[in-house]
Structure 1
Amino acid sequence: MKAKLVTLLIVAATLVLVAVKFQHYIENPWTRDGYVRAHIVEVTSRVTGPLVALHVTDNTRVKQGDLLFEIDPRVYQVALDKAKANFAQAQAALERSQNEQHRGRALEQRTPGSLSTLSLNNLDNAVESATANVKAAQAAVNDAELNLGFTKVYASTDGYITNLHLALGAQVVANQPIVALIDENSFWIEGFFKETDIEQIAMGDDAQITLMSYPHSPFSGVVESIGYGIAQQDGSTGSYMLPNVNPTFQWVRLAQRLPVKIKVSQLPDDVQLRVGTSASIIIKGV
């Protein structure tokens, strides 16, 4: 009799623990499908040329405005010098046309009829054309100055240089990504929760995050947003313009997972966030 009573107590305690755990799970959605995210800046050059100086190494931290690398500036310096020379010529042509216009107008005032209306109009048109040429030459100078400045590439934000595979002498192509710069001020945690859990999650809810790389250093966060959609798999166009439809079992209906964005509230000193690493997340509510 005593043994049966002990067994019943153990079973009852087990059921209570299971019920508590289940209630805790229902009230506090949890997922192991979480990842560290951050904004990634694709560092590109605005001009083409060989690399002549490299001021960073792979996986190093940089500050906004730090010089990353330099492209051979000689071609762009020559282009700037040529643009400035053309600008000087355009200015000289403008001064000459203005002088001719001034003399023609002065002669016409002293001796009315000495110049035809067509000649006077031509003098005015010459000044307008020369003025336009000066503006175009000034724009060319500005463009050349920009290109010369673009031979030096700077960090656009504080962050970490990663996946750097550059060497001196390498040809850099304009508007082609060269290296990734991870914005250190943009880290967040993205967790994928089952759609059946979304009802229990609200913006502003507290969250506890544990990274797989730091299992003994959990930290806190706040739900910032909940995704409004995910990509559709069934019905996407496949070969021969026919829809792809994945086979499903009628008696099994799998819950989809929706992304939940979590802002990190407080990060332990010994934890370094790295994009793409795994995380476990539990939503505790406000």
Structure 2
Amino acid sequence: MSEDKTINEAVVKSEKKRNTILTILSFIFIIGGGIWILSLIFDFHRYETTNNAQVESYINSVTARATGHVASIHFDANQFVHKGDTLVVLDDEEYRIKVKQAEADLAVAEGNLHSLEQSIVTATANQAASKDNLEGDKASLDKAEKDYQRFKNMIADSAVTRNQYDQVVSKLQSTKAYLDAGQKQLLASVSTTKQSYTNLEAAKATVARKKADLENALLQLSYTRIIAMADGYVGERTISIGELINANQVVATQVLNQKVWVTANFKETQIGKIKPGQEVTITVDALDDKEFKGKVVGFSPATGAKFSMVEPDNSTGNFVKITQRIPVKIDFEASAKELESVKPGMSVTVEIKK
């Protein structure tokens, strides 16, 4: 009996000790929970927080501007490239042939232009000669008319023979005919000269068009070298040697090395307490919750739903009120070197101090 009593006393003491420990732990958990709840309430009064936020950056799609087979590739996935670096070279044989054709067409057009310029020189000279001949014919006609008047008076007095008089009349008529022909020739020369000038303008326009064709052919040839338009990192490489690339096809995606920022999607009920210029604490999940400082820059002009491909239609009768979110742009205050490890697309938590 004494042994049983001893055992019972030991069990009772053990239970009392365990109950005491459990009571103490309960008090600790209750106090800790209260402190945690109070801290949350205190923080909520001091901060507006969201974890619906991502790091953003400018992303450029490098597209082909010409069609052709890939001759060589000068970049690897995730490689940093500088503005002007050649990324892809297309087979340019077809484009070089078009350049030669354009050069030949331009040479023909310039030859025609030079020929017309020479024809204008000839037509101008002919016009001047016709004008001079016409002046001579006018002088001859004036002399023939005077001779005719003189011989007409002399024939009346029988001072000259009929044969001499007929020769003078014939001379007068032939001189008039030469003068009429000279006038017509001068008109023809003037018309030819005008037509030559008109043809010259058309030839100049043709030369200008052929020069434009040559410039376009050279431009198309330059498109066979696809270059980076800015500094940045190239993403995945999805093309290979010999592949046919079409115009406007994306050959690479480049994350521009300019700046990164955060787009935080706050609930519409939080926006009223956020103002541009407020201080922000940015916690990056991927970097072991490393913190950066930032500032609010601005707000989206509409909620995210308004910019979605399929906007919700609340007029169907199945309306459920859902708190909307408005994107807020936040700039990092850290230097570019400090942000080297921060990549676009990383999830972050944002706390904005009220």
Q: 1:25 aligns with which of 35, 40, 44?
A: 44
Equivalenced residues, count: 269
1:102-141 counterparts in 2 under 5 A? 102-112=121-131, 113=183, 114-115=185-186, 116=188, 117-141=190-214
Please give the per-residue CA displacement for 1:1-44, whole angstroms capped at 9, x wherever unaligned. xxxxxx99x98997676445324223311100001111111101
Residue 65 of structure 2 is aligned to residue 46 of structure 1: yes
Which residue of the partner structure matches residue 293 of structure 2? 220
Q: 2:323 aligns with which of 255, 258, 262?
A: 255
Q: 1:66 aligns with which of 85, 97, 100?
A: 85
Q: Secondary structure at the match of 2:345?
A: coil
AA partner of residue 331 (structure 2): K
Distance 2:80 2:292 in 1: 23
Question: Displacement of 1:108 after TM fit?
Answer: 0.8
Which residue of the partner structure matches residue 3 of structure 1? none
AA partner of residue 266 (structure 1): A
Unaligned runs of 5+ in 2: 1-25, 132-182
Distance 1:161 1:102 in 2: 62
Contact residue 234 and residue 245 of structure 1 kept, 8 A: no
Distance 1:186 1:245, change over 3 A: farther
Residue 244 of structure 2 is aligned to residue 171 of structure 1: yes
AA partner of residue 313 (structure 2): G
Q: Secondary structure at the match of 1:123?
A: helix
Q: Secondary structure at the match of 1:122?
A: helix
Which residue of the partner structure matches residue 100 of structure 2? 81
Contact residue 44 and residue 175 of structure 1 kept, 8 A: yes
Q: Which has the higher helix share?
A: 2
Q: Secondary structure at the match of 1:29?
A: strand
Contact residue 235 and residue 245 of structure 1 kept, 8 A: no
Structure (1 or 2) with the larger CA radius of gyration: 2
AA partner of residue 274 (structure 1): K
Please give the per-residue CA displacement for 1:58-101, whole angstroms capped at 9, x wherever unaligned. 11111111111101111111111111111111111000011101
Question: Displacement of 1:225 after TM fit?
Answer: 1.1
Question: Displacement of 1:200 after TM fit?
Answer: 1.6
Contact residue 217 and residue 271 of structure 1 kept, 8 A: no
Q: Secondary structure at the match of 2:329?
A: strand
Q: 2:228 aligns with which of 152, 155, 159?
A: 155
Distance 1:187 1:281 in 2: 15
Distance 1:54 1:234, change over 3 A: closer
Please give the per-residue CA displacement for 1:122-178, whole angstroms capped at 9, x wherever unaligned. 111110110001000100111011111111111111111113211000111111222
- The answer to which of 42-51 and 18-27 deviates more is 18-27
Contact residue 210 and residue 280 of structure 1 kept, 8 A: yes
AA partner of residue 273 (structure 1): V
Q: Secondary structure at the match of 1:204?
A: coil
Contact residue 223 and residue 263 of structure 1 kept, 8 A: yes
Which residue of the partner structure matches residue 283 of structure 1? 352
Q: Secondary structure at the match of 1:229?
A: coil
- The answer to which of 124-133 and 183-192 deviates more is 183-192
Q: 1:146 aligns with which of 216, 219, 231?
A: 219
Q: Secondary structure at the match of 1:187?
A: strand
Question: Displacement of 1:229 after TM fit?
Answer: 0.5
Contact residue 44 and residue 174 of structure 1 kept, 8 A: yes
Residue 266 of structure 2 is aligned to residue 198 of structure 1: no
Which residue of the partner structure matches residue 239 of structure 1? none
Distance 1:257 1:123, change over 3 A: same
Where does structure 1 differ by over 6 angstroms across 4 or more consecutive aligned residues?
Answer: 10-14
